Amino acid sequence: MLFNSYEFIFLFLPILFFGYFFLTSKRLIIASKVWLVLGSLFFYSWWNPIYLPLILGSMTFNYLVGKSLGYKATKPMLTLGIVGNVVLLGYFKYADFFIENYNWVLGADANLLHLALPLAISYFTFQQIAFLVDSYRGETKEYNFLNYSMFITFFPQLLMGPIMHHKEIIPQFQERWKLVIRWENVSLGLFIFAIGLAKKTLLGDPLTDYAQNAFDHAQDLSMIEAWYAAVSYVLSYYFDLSGYADMAIGIGKMFNINIPLNFNSPYKARNFAEYWQRWHMTLSRFLSDYVYKSLGGNKRVAWVMYLNIMITFFVSGFWHGAGWTFVVWGLLNGIFVVMAHMMRKAKFEMNFYIAWGLMFLGVIITRVLFVSDNFSDAWYVTYTMFDISNLRFTHMPYADKWFQTPYIIVGLILALFFKNSIEISKDFKPNSIYLSYTVILLTASLFTFSKAKEFLYFQF
């Protein structure tokens, strides 16, 4: 089920919300948790109920392993848990990738499996690996299957994160003051949700439409069209992903739950190290805590630290997609982050505007690689962006760049010069002014639902 759908806003959300707080008001705490878990599983299975047993089996397996680690932390049990998760993710997400490369290397003709990627498997797999490692480290104190199910399935973050820690969510559900409706939280949550919905539907989707149409004809793009397509994708990914994160935070706030921040104006960063501290922050936190630090983290020997960074970004690239373009994308980001650390170590300070310009250019180039179907398209678009001989003003029927100009300008202004949604929400007051903002954003977004689009990370 999509956040940007009539059935979610007018049926699912109000029914689940009032049902949950009705049960808590009657002190039926266990029943309220069951209601929330069942509602979240219904939300998950709306897309395809065939994968409901998969997430239930994964939850059961990880709960039992985590509980065992809580009683007695052993490396074999932790290894079993991590391998089990990696195998499950690898089978559905990477089986065809490995078969294709096996066929290519050995000249074989093994049949592809053509498996559909289960919804949210990349997210709930990482979240559960974090739970297992935290249990091994003694950082997870409570082991109740109902609470664990609520932690994994809580519907605002289920499909696309943020990737949460057990210790930062479950204690919130156990605080008594959070078991009653707090209308100030509801109004704030609706405001944040409205901002996120508008980012997705009013900016993200139109930008994605143009960029996708252009990249479908990548080899025909002129210099100007290549820039329009690349910048459109850079902006669309930000408004799409951060819009979802805002909606998740807003819904969580309605339930009195503080979901962690996932985006913090990443395009205002001055280098790639700072960029990754601002972009998909809970994924960066996971990779830092459970990959980078496990490798040794900031070793005194510089080249070892840089190697750890590269390995971490290799994992990040492979997590994002089963293809060599994603692997190279991850490694390229790793190189840019290493360069930022080298400059910091050398105490080399660059002019802010030059540093920002190089960072943003790097984001554009890496995003081209990320969204391209193959290396050939990625190279053509990147080369064409700087090919002055291809400076022509043809009108391509699938990509009206002049109609796209206002979206790009507005997107750049909002991403670079305005406060982000969380910064704006800090000034929120439950008054008529903010009510008007909320109503206007929600109403404008509702008119786009007839052509609602899935989120770009919907099946990661």
Residue of 114, 166, 320, 395 marked active site: 320
Q: Which tokens hold the place of 288?
A: 């830092």
Which run of H or E residues covers position 439?
helix 432-446
Burial class of residue 64 (count of CB atoms within 10 Å of its CB; 0-12, 13-18, 19+)? middle
Q: Considering all CA atoms of the chain, what is the largest pairwise distance in Å, rounded to the nearest integer? A: 72
Query: E strands, 315-438, where?
Result: none
- Angstrom distance (rounded) from CA 278 to CA 284: 9
- Angstrom distance (rounded) from CA 230 to CA 250: 30
- Angstrom distance (rounded) from CA 119 to CA 290: 23
User: Is 320 a residue of the active site?
Assistant: yes
- 3-class DSSP assignment, residue 81: helix
Cβ 209 vs Cβ 379: under 8 Å: no
Q: Is the peptide bond before 162 cis (omega within 30 degrees of 0)?
A: yes
- Angstrom distance (rounded) from CA 340 to CA 335: 9
Q: Which tokens hold the place of 460?
A: 């990661």
Report CA-CA distances (Å) from 266 to 119, 196, 423.
Answer: 26, 16, 13
- Angstrom distance (rounded) from CA 420 to CA 200: 14
Q: Kindly list the catalytic residues.
A: 320
